[in-house]
Amino acid sequence: MSAGPRLTATGAAYADLATHVRCHGPLPATDAAHIIDIVERSGLTGRGGAAFPTGRKLRTVAGNARRSGAVLIANGCEGEPASAKDRSMLMKAPHLILDGITLGARAVGADHAYLCVHEGQDEVLRTLQRAQTERRAAGLPDVEMTVTEVPNRYVASEESSLVHLLNGGPALPLSTPPRPFERGVRGRPTLVDNVETLAQLALTVRHGADWFRSAGTSDAPGTALVTLGGAVAAPGVYEVELGLTGADLLAVAGGPSEPLQAVLAGGYFGAWLRADRFAASAITPRGLQAAGAAMGAGIFLALPATSCGLAETARIAQYLAEQSANQCGPCLNGLPALAEALTALAHRGGRKPSGTITALSPYVTGRGACRHPDGAVRLINSALTEFAADVRTHAQRGPCQGLRRAPILPVPTPERASARTGGRIPAEV
């Protein structure tokens, strides 16, 4: 493992076009076939949560779009409440993202791109305008692009929700198939990529597949942006080489700020890992999956030994239940039932709630139109296994001391989570 920072190499709070080109070189003139070839060989995988091979997605969309032309969506919504990496890239290095959008559009034959961000982010919009003005003045051969504001709801940034919104509907998931890469915006094959993925693509097309693979591991090449939060000395966004251990990852943020009991790996789409298991895990999509968690969008939240992991998870579970798009029976009924049971276990104790969770979970996973319920069920069940000792204590003796501590994990307030898209605003989070 060698390389220094890549995406964050300029070190600037805002890299203007001149700084960007001086650091990374000009926008490459590479053609579609070469872009796809380089990205495929690089082994780059999506940084939006699912870790799907980016090159394969490019090739599929390009193939599907041969006659109709394609559309590109850059997903910069960052729906995960604890994540800050996409906003950080949009503010500091918008030219890398805009390069990636132009190269991605060229690869799949898209003549229009949408950059989607959550509504109310005025600073991001201003920064993007400034960057686009610089690019126009320099005469860069950019694809035509619209910046689209997306309602502030968890499922609004799922890829089919974005397609739905851009086709004039509400930002709610659609039934699949067809999936966006088959038929998306205006009926055309649509490439949806996370903004960090596109920034990684912009560098990889410049420097080549071998360069990309010179960082990270053969199984998980390259660097990734991570958001480190909770009980670490210096919470924030960092760029790391994939393949480091959990212990080394926490050290990047100055290490734990107090003794830890667990880390939530992969954000609210991920799972808890006890501190010792996390410390020994490889920080790669496969390594975390093997441990029962996920890389997700690179979010890692450290939980102090004196917190109540069940109460923390119950708050998130309530939030995720409120964020259901209320379209699918098992999701709209199942998530509140699971969240209620976990809340009962955390705050009142007893033996019944954990049995309820175990019994209901199989009726929720895999039964929605999108993967929102699957992530919520995984998170809730990881709390039962990783905090098994606490589950027993709560069952026998009721709530624990940990409830006295202020919550660690961020959950958006009702104001922020409110929505244009038929969202009922929860009275209390």
Partner 1 sequence: MPRRQRDRTLRVDPIKCEGHALCIEAFPEMITRDPWNYPVLNPLPIPDHLLRHAEHAVKVCPVLALRIVTGDRDRDRERK
Ligand X SMILES: Cc1cc2nc3c(=O)[nH]c(=O)nc-3n(C[C@H](O)[C@H](O)[C@H](O)COP(=O)(O)O)c2cc1C
Which of ligand SF4, ligand X, partner 1, none interacts with 324 (beta carbon under 5 to 8 A by kind)? ligand SF4
Sign of CA dihedral 197, 202, 207, 208: positive
In the bound state, the residue with its beta carbon closest to ligand SF4 is 368
Segment near partner 1 (CB under 8 A), from 14-22, 204-212, 256-264, 366-374?
Answer: 366-374
> Is residue 337 involved in binding ligand SF4 (CB under 6 A)?
no
Segment near partner 1 (CB under 8 A), from 27-35, 130-138, 174-182, 232-240?
Answer: 174-182
**Least CB distance to ligand X at residue 260 (A):** 27
Is there a contact between 222 and 209 (Cβ–Cβ < 8 Å)? Answer: no
**3-class DSSP assignment, residue 19:** helix
For 278, residues 6+ apart whose C-beta sits below 8 A from its C-beta are 246, 262, 263, 265, 291
> Is residue 331 involved in binding ligand SF4 (CB under 6 A)?
yes
Q: Indicate the residue among 98 and 192 with the shorter CB distance to partner 1.
A: 192
> Is residue 334 involved in binding partner 1 (CB under 8 A)?
yes
Q: Indicate the residue among 84 and 331 with the shorter CB distance to partner 1.
A: 331
For strand 190-194 and strand 223-230, is the pairing parallel, antiparallel, or unpaired? Answer: unpaired
Window 49-108: residues binding ligand SF4 (CB under 6 A): none
Token look-up 């003045």 returns 137
One-character DSSP codes across 121-137: -HHHHHHHHHHHHHHHH
Q: Indicate the residue among 49 and 230 with the shorter CB distance to ligand X.
A: 49
- Residues of this chain that interact with ligand X (CB under 6 A) are 46-50, 52, 75, 77-79, 154-155, 157-159, 192-194, 197, 370-372
Is there a contact between 419 and 370 (Cβ–Cβ < 8 Å)? Answer: no
**Least CB distance to ligand SF4 at residue 332 (A):** 5
The only residue of 76, 267, 304, 373 in contact with ligand SF4, by rule CB under 6 A: 373
Q: Indicate the residue among 148 and 324 with the shorter CB distance to ligand SF4.
A: 324
Q: At what angle do helices 372-386 and 352-360 cross, to 10 degrees?
A: 140
Rounded Cα distance between 254 and 299, Å, is 16
One-character DSSP codes across 151-218: -S-GGGGSHHHHHHHHTTS-S-PPPSSSPTTTS-GGGS-EEEEEHHHHHHHHHHHHH-HHHHHTSB-S
> Is residue 285 involved in binding ligand SF4 (CB under 6 A)?
no
The only residue of 370, 383, 409, 417 in contact with partner 1, by rule CB under 8 A: 370
Q: Sort 45 into a burial class: Cβ within 10 Å, 0-12 / 13-18 / 19+.
A: buried
What residue ranges bind ligand SF4 (CB under 6 A)? 155, 173, 324-328, 331-332, 368-370, 372-373
